[in-house]
Chain A
Amino acid sequence: MKEKRKKKQLGELGVFAVMVIIFVIMSIASPVFLKANNLINIVRQTVEIGIMAIGMTFLIIAGELDLSIGSLFATTAMFGGYLFKYEIVPPTAVFFLTLLLGILMGCVNGLLVTRVKIPSFIVTLGTMKIYRSFAYAIGDGQSIGQFPESASKSWVWSLGAKINGIPVQIFVMLALFIIAHILLKKTTYGYQVYATGGNPRAAHLSGINIKNVRLIAFAIMGFLCAVAALVSTAYLGTVTTTSGAGREMDAIAAVILGGAALSGGRGTILGTFLGAIIMATVKNGMVLLSVPVFWQDGFIGVVVILAVLVDTLFHKNDSER
């Protein structure tokens, strides 16, 4: 038992070290950085990427990838926004319909990958484009905003509200991270996810239905995109057709920062959480330090490579023998 704990800590030590280094540098460099408001902002700005990165963690551990999540996010957001705006069904129904749509779209990805047997990279590259078109089509190319009171006064909008200055969405994200951690580490499903990504043949021969394990991971991904979409809608009070673009790469970067292997079988929810926080912190820090816009993307690239390097240094001894 003791031994396990030791191993686990080592697993996230690399990414944790990177995070601490960034925090130390930032708190020296900027007087604003450590202010409560700014720290809350960082966590708030983690929410969208963080929630999506949870789903991506499941997929990457299971040996899959989803490039369509940005578009999936936009479609579910536009869908929900449309229903809210024109009061077609009550807000509570919109909430559940949106989640259902997310799950369905995730399942479409999953079915194409597991049943039609097209590699997930290709499937989701295709659905990335298709779902984006859906998003445009729903809003007729325009964003949807200025929601009626039936929506903005409903409980759904509390997802975007603040309690004593702390955004509710932070708690939503944290709750999802905790649930995901339990799902991945404490349930048979999580165990099957690791096995499926680690060695699909061995998992299959062990009686694990690897197709369904992957399908469910895609469904979880779709569900989480829909949650992120609802949170964003409630927070911003508007939905745009272009929202979520490029988020797939941010989410993948967060998962990889967290120590997951793209080849599958390795990764943790805690690592992903730290990875997502790092992404948000770096973005925030660059603005505080007035780094020119052109260099910000490059800087994030450096951080990703650096963090993975640190991680391989920490894991060097694992592979030797």
Chain B
Amino acid sequence: MAAVIEFKNITKRFGGTVALNDVSFSIEKGEIHCLCGENGAGKSTLINLCGGVFTPTEGQILVNGREENINTIRKSEKLGFSIVHQEVPLCLNMSVAHNIFLGSAEATKGWFLNEKHMSEKTRELLDMFRLHVEPTTLLGSLSIAEQSIVQIAKAVYFKPDILILDEPTAALTNDQREVMFEVVRKLVKEHGTTVLYVSHRLEEVMMLGDRLTVLKDGKYVTTRNVSDVTMDEIVTLMVGRKIEKTEWDRSYVTNEELLTVKNLCNGKKFQNISFSLHRGEILGLAGFVGAGRTEVLSSIFGADKLDSGEVYVKGERVNIRSPKDAIRKKISMIPENRRDDGLVTSMSIRQNAQLAVMDRISSKGFLSESKSVSLMEEMINKYSIKVGGMNDMILTLSGGNQQKVVIAKWIGNDPEILLCDEPTRGIDVGAKSEVYTILKDIASHGIGILMVSSELPELINLCDRIIVMHEGRITGEIMREEATEELITRYAAAI
């Protein structure tokens, strides 16, 4: 088999930081090649080199045996690359069909848009992905999962020679993921497309990949056949150590009810939601995307309105109308969408971390520099956030470290109740386990945690109790001892 892409001694520096250090490996035609590594390992940089976003400081990229200088995005497209990025770069104000054909010659017929062709082809494509939306639907009205499917569909439609998928499944449910895998396999088989697949979910690597390459701290570690390794081995290669699972087994549940909700209703989003959360408990909220889990969380937090229902904090009836009210009642929320809801990208790490704890770093309305700095140092040490300087811009951090900043921001507020929505979405294995440790530690201090997650192993490992939702209703409650992936899935699908 011939190498489609060959990386030869690639080094990429940004100022003083070395993102890639003398990396060499090759990807063969028609294979599904997985790229594994923690955040900051250099995966994104490597993809951006293929995409023409950056050029290597040293070394060469060979495409089909010829050395190519990929210095523009157009050049990359000309060479047959198609890249599906982690963040969805689509136009939310346009329809699904228009997004898929954006920039394509097929979109027009003479001077006019070829609406008929676009919607026919889009419908076929959506059927293939089993996505039940009209081609004319506005993209912005779709869920994040559906949007990322549209993005993948767009890449697949144009049958690229080389398809690069960067964390495509972060928002997808298991079913949607299966469908996507099917389509990718079909593309490889029928069109001979080469796939470079980047994912934090190692079970996906095992399911889909032919070969895998591991990067660590910008250096090449190894390339193996997927059939020759186990998941544990991959994890060890990636982080250089085994992840301790036992530390999460401890339970800190008490009998004291911190938060009780009764018959919460919000239009079509959810109905008759009742449960209670105890001091020291980690309560999981499971279900498919769109089951109404996120909405329940943001309603409790006051970011969404409730139609009816009662909320009690420590037995006292409360009326929370805004996040400010919630914070006053010692409730914190780590939102799902880090970029859009959690961070102010124009601000520094320190400013972001202290957005919700202004009272603690100020007196009489004036900020105290020294209080702020010492609080930040405390946070950085406590949550082992890797930072150059606390005044660097937040976007200089990797996804995992950004998430730790968001968690630190909310814990700094001394909450009694912590709501978290997909706390490990889009972060790597190493950072994930650190987040788990942090959450357990938080629970051990007598804080109740209500956690929405789509990762079943995470729920099973971490939660004392799991509530499962299906289409806005609670369909089951599972205690830690009896929790299995199968049981959760059955409740979630309401079988």
A–B touch (CB < 8 A): the answer is yes
Which of A191, A198, A199, A206 is within 8 Å of B323, CB to CB? A206
Given contacts A188-B365, A191-B367, contact A205 B345 (CB under 8 A): no
Task: Determine whether the beta carbon of B327 is less than 8 Å from that of A207.
Answer: yes
What's the count of A-B pairs with C-beta under 8 Å?
92
A289 to chain B, nearest CB (A): 39
| Chain A residues numbered 195-218 whose CB sits less than 8 Å from any CB in chain B | 195, 197-199, 201-209
Contact B356 A198 (CB under 8 A): no
A191–B346 contact, CB under 8 A? no
- Residue pairs across A and B with Cβ atoms less than 8 A apart, 10 shown, are A3-B389, A3-B392, A7-B391, A190-B367, A195-B347, A198-B345, A204-B303, A206-B409, A209-B324, A321-B396
Tell me, rounded to whole Å, the shortest Cβ–Cβ distance linking B96 to chain A. Answer: 24
Q: Which residues of B contact A199 (CB under 8 A)?
A: 340-341, 343-346
A35 CB, min distance to chain B CBs, angstroms: 41
The number of residues on chain A lying at the interface, defined by a beta carbon within 8 Å of a beta carbon of chain B, is: 33
B344 touches A188 (CB 8 A): no
Pairs A-B, 7 closest by C-beta atoms? A198-B344, A265-B346, A207-B327, A198-B346, A199-B344, A206-B355, A206-B356
> What is the CA–CA distance of A192 and B14 in the complex, to the nearest angstrom?
32
Shortest Cβ distance from residue A202 to the other chain B in the assembled complex, whole angstroms: 5
**In the complex the two chains form, what is the Cα distance from A264 to B303 in whole Å?**
22
Decide yes or no whether A297 CB sits under 8 A from chain B: no
A177 within 8 A of B: no
Mark each residue of chain A from 1 to 21: 1 if its CB lies under 8 Å from any CB of chain B, else 0: 101100100000000000000
Residue of B303, B355, B369 touching A195 (CB-CB under 8 A): B355
CB distance from B12 to the nearest CB of A (A): 11
CB distance from A164 to the nearest CB of B (A): 35
Q: Is B362 interfacial (CB-CB < 8 Å)?
A: yes
Output the nearest chain B residue to A8 by Cβ-Cβ distance.
B391
CB contacts under 8 Å to B, within A31-88, are none
Residues of chain A within 8 A of B396, CB atoms compared: 321
Q: Considering the chains assembled together, what is the distance between the CA atoms of A201 and B303 in angstroms?
A: 10
Q: Which residues of B contact A186 (CB under 8 A)?
A: 366-367
Asked if A194 CB lies within 8 Å of chain B CBs, one says yes
Chain B nearest Cβ from A26, distance in angstroms = 34
Q: Does B333 contact A (CB under 8 A)?
A: yes
- If A1-B373, A198-B346 are given as contacts, then 18 extra A-B residue pairs at C-beta distance below 8 Å, sorted by A number, are A3-B392, A185-B367, A191-B358, A194-B351, A195-B355, A198-B347, A199-B341, A201-B340, A202-B342, A202-B355, A205-B333, A207-B324, A207-B356, A209-B322, A209-B324, A266-B346, A318-B393, A321-B395
| Across-interface contacts of A208 in B (CB, < 8 A) | 324, 355
Among B14, B301, B323, max chain A CB count under 10 A is at: B323
A244 to B465, CA, bound (A): 65
Query: Whole-angstrom distance from the CB of A163 to the nearest CB of chain B?
Result: 31
In contact, B344 and A265 (Cβ under 8 angstroms): yes
Closest to B347 in A: A198
Specify which chain B residues have a CB less than 8 angstroms from the CB of A204 in the assembled complex: 303, 322-323
Q: Within 8 Å of chain A (Cβ to Cβ): is B326?
A: yes
Q: Any chain A CB within 8 A of the CB of B423?
A: no
- Which residues of B sit under 8 angstroms from A206, Cβ to Cβ? 323, 355-356, 409
Task: Report the minimal beta-carbon distance from A213 to chain B, rounded to whole angstroms.
Answer: 12
Q: With a CB–CB cut-off of 8 A, which chain B residues contact A266?
A: 346
Question: Are B344 and A203 in contact, CB atoms less than 8 angstroms apart?
Answer: yes
**In the complex, how many angstroms separate the beta carbon of B147 from the nearest chain A beta carbon?**
17
Judging by beta carbons under 8 Å apart, are B343 and A207 in contact? no
Residue B51 is within 8 A (CB to CB) of chain A in the complex: no
**Is A314 part of the binding interface, using a Cβ–Cβ cutoff of 8 Å?**
no
Residues on B with beta carbons closer than 8 Å to the beta carbon of A194: 344, 346-347, 351
**Which residues 375-411 in B have Cβ within 8 Å of A in the complex?**
389, 391-393, 395-396, 409
Whether A191 pairs with B365 at a CB distance below 8 angstroms is no
Which A residues lie within 8 Å of B345 (CB)? 198-199, 265
Taking a contact as CB atoms under 8 Å apart, the answer to whether B323 and A205 are in contact is yes
Contact B341 A189 (CB under 8 A): no
B448 at the interface (CB under 8 A from A): no
Q: Is the interface of B mostly helix, strand, loop or mixed?
A: mixed
**Shortest beta-carbon distance from A268 to chain B in Å:** 12
Q: How far is the CA of A7 from the CA of B348 in the complex (A)?
A: 11
How far apart are the CA atoms of A4 and B340 in the complex, in Å? 26
The residues of B that contact A192 with a CB separation of less than 8 Å are: 358
Query: Do A207 and B395 touch (CB < 8 A)?
Result: no
Tell which of B301, B326, B343, B395 touches A202, judged by Cβ atoms closer than 8 Å: B343
Known: A187-B366, A198-B346, A321-B14. A205 touches B335 (CB 8 A): yes
Given contacts A194-B351, A198-B345, contact A205 B365 (CB under 8 A): no
Binding site for B on A (CB under 8 A): 1, 3-4, 7, 185-192, 194-195, 197-199, 201-209, 261, 264-266, 318, 320-321
Chain A residues contacting B391 (CB-CB under 8 Å) are: 3-4, 7
Q: Tell me, in angstroms, the Cα distance from A1 to B389 when the chains sit together.
A: 9
* Chain B contacts for A7, CB-based, 8 A: 391
Q: How far apart are the CA atoms of A197 and B344 in the complex, in Å?
A: 9
Select one of A188, A198, A202, A264 contacting B358, CB under 8 A: A188
How far is A212 from B351 in the complex, measured between Cα atoms in Å? 20
Nearest-Cβ distance from residue B262 to partner chain A, whole angstroms: 24
A188 to B347, CA, bound (A): 14
Least CB distance, A157 to chain B, in whole angstroms: 33
Binary flags per residue of B318-350, CB closer than 8 Å to A gives 1, else 0: 000011101100000101000011111111000
- CB nearest to A267 among chain B residues: B346
| Residues in chain A near residue B346, CB distance under 8 A | 194, 197-199, 261, 264-266
Task: Decide if A207 touches B323 in the complex (CB within 8 Å).
Answer: yes
User: When chains A and B are docked, how far (Å) is the Cα of A266 from the Cα of B393?
Assistant: 12
Docked pose: A29 CA to B403 CA in angstroms: 56
Given A198-B346, A202-B355, A209-B324, is A187 in contact with B340 using a C-beta cutoff of 8 Å?
no
A201 to B322, CA, bound (A): 12
- A residues near B344, Cβ cutoff 8 Å: 194-195, 198-199, 202-203, 265
Bitwise interface map of B from 220 to 253 toward A, beta carbon under 8 Å scored 1, else 0: 0000000000000000000000000000000000
Nearest CB in chain A: distance from B402 CB, A: 12
- Tell me the bound Cα distance from A84 to B147 in angstroms: 63
For the complex, give the distance between the alpha carbons of A194 and B351 in Å: 10
Q: CB-nearest residue of chain A relative to B359? A: A188
Closest Cβ–Cβ distance, residue B335 to chain A (whole Å): 6
Known: A1-B373, A266-B346. A188 touches B355 (CB 8 A): no
Query: Complex: how many Å from CA A1 to CA B393?
Result: 14
CB-nearest residue of chain B relative to A201? B341
Which residues of the partner chain B approach A265 to less than 8 Å between Cβ atoms? 344-347
Chain A minimum-CB-distance residue to B396: A321
Best-buried of B341, B351, B393 by chain A (most CB within 10 Å): B341
Name the residue on B nearest A320 (C-beta).
B14
Contact digits for B295-324, partner A, Cβ 8 Å, 1 yes 0 no: 000000101000000000000000000111
CA distance A264 to B369 in the complex (A): 24
- How far, in whole Å, are A1 and B348 apart by their CA atoms in the complex? 13
Chain A residue at minimal CB-CB distance from B19: A321
- Alpha-carbon gap, A192 to B344, bound state (A): 11
- Point out the residues of chain A lying under 8 angstroms from B365, CB to CB: 187-189
What is the CA–CA distance of A196 and B228 in the complex, to the nearest angstrom?
Answer: 52
| CA distance in complex: A195, B167 (Å) | 29
Shortest CB-to-CB span from A50 to chain B, Å, is 24
- A207, B351: Cβ atoms under 8 Å? no
B32 to chain A, nearest CB (A): 29
For A185, the chain B residues whose CB sits under 8 A away are 367
